[in-house]
Amino acid sequence: KQEVTQIPAALSVPEGENLVLNCSFTDSAIYNLQWFRQDPGKGLTSLLLIQSSQREQTSGRLNASLDKSSGRSTLYIAASQPGDSATYLCAVRGSGNTPLVFGKGTRLSVIA
């Protein structure tokens, strides 16, 4: 059974810092991996999706990498801003159109 772990569980950084969020998964036979952002009391917003054949995806100040063989993904946030404060979730989809498996998330606070 696929398990997704995110480290750290919570992170507090000063504004302007570059930071890395980590995600690991136990079964490397994945179809894709997706990073989401969740604001308090809200639903999830998709940030980046990486197919199993890709190594990384970029969107603005966000860069996500995927090392499928080692079961790891990182989300890099450059020049963090207070508006980046949220919980960031990693989710993987296995082959055969199986539903996503989510990690518990990393709660990020960016202090002005």
Partner 1 sequence: EADIYQTPRYLVIGTGKKITLECSQTMGHDKMYWYQQDPGMELHLIHYSYGVNSTEKGDLSSESTVSRIRTEHFPLTLESARPSHTSQYLCASSELGRSSGNTIYFGEGSWLTVV
Residues that bind partner 1 (CB under 8 A): 31-32, 34, 36, 41-46, 49, 51, 89, 91, 93, 97, 99-100, 102-105, 107
Nearer to partner 1, 1 or 14 (CB): 1
Select 34 or 65, whichever has its Cβ closest to partner 1: 34
Give 43-84 as a DSSP string.
Answer: -EEEEEEEETT-SEEEETTEEEEEETTTTEEEEEE-S--GGG
Q: How far is the CB of 80 from partner 1 (least distance, A)?
A: 21
Spatial CA neighbour of 96 closest among 29, 5, 6: 29
CB of 16 to partner 1, least distance (A): 27
Q: Kind of pairing, strands 10-14 and 106-111?
A: parallel
- Cβ closer to partner 1: 14 or 43? 43
